[in-house]
Amino acid sequence: MNYLFDANTFIEAKNRYYRMNVCPAYWDWLIHSHAEGKIFSIDMIKAELLQGNDDLTAWIKVQPQMFVSESDDATQEAFVKVAEYVMTLNHMNKGTHEEFLSVADPWLVAKAIVTGATIVTHEHFDQYIKKKILIPNIAKYFGVECINTFEVLDKLDAEFILSP
């Protein structure tokens, strides 16, 4: 099983529970898990993360291999399907469709459709939301599973052990 990471998983980890100076093992685990072919993200997520100016930005700059292109034909075709579906969501507030389609989120869903990956995000499915289109809401329609960081750590049997 492959896991496709959303930008918010990197940002939340950096800002809170896996701060780079507190838990460097988490960041090493990401590198190791990617090398094993288990986790990755897309170039558009990398571009979002590179807009910062902090430790995460510096880390992303030296991890380009973790991010894959979404320019392949299969992902492009899946994106069209995602965009078409998003535009049918008549219950959403004005502007939400354009906002969702202007960022990496629909591309993340498209790449997950093509690769069969599970999306790792901190967004949660909410069938009643009208003010923001959520990745899990769109992913569910396409049969793509979404989990959070803690769930992927469990699924991949991650361990961060303090050495004496």
In single-letter form, the type of residue at position 126 comes to: D
| Residue 45 within any structural domain of the chain | yes
Q: What string of pLDDT tens digits covers the 164 residues of the chain?
A: 799 999 999 999 999 989 999 999 999 999 999 999 999 999 999 999 999 899 999 999 999 999 999 999 999 999 999 988 878 777 766 777 677 666 789 999 999 999 999 999 999 986 766 777 789 999 999 999 999 999 999 999 999 887 77
| Residue 164 within any structural domain of the chain | no
Residue 91's pLDDT is: 75
| Global confidence as pTM | 0.93
| Residue 160 within any structural domain of the chain | no
| Residue 161 within any structural domain of the chain | no
Long-range CB pairs of 12-18, under 8 A, 24+ apart, other chains included:
12/122, 12/149, 13/149, 14/54, 14/55, 14/56
Residue 134's pLDDT is: 81
CATH code (residue 135): 3.40.50.1010
Expressed as residue numbers, the domain containing 17 is 3-155
How many structural domains are present in the chain? 1
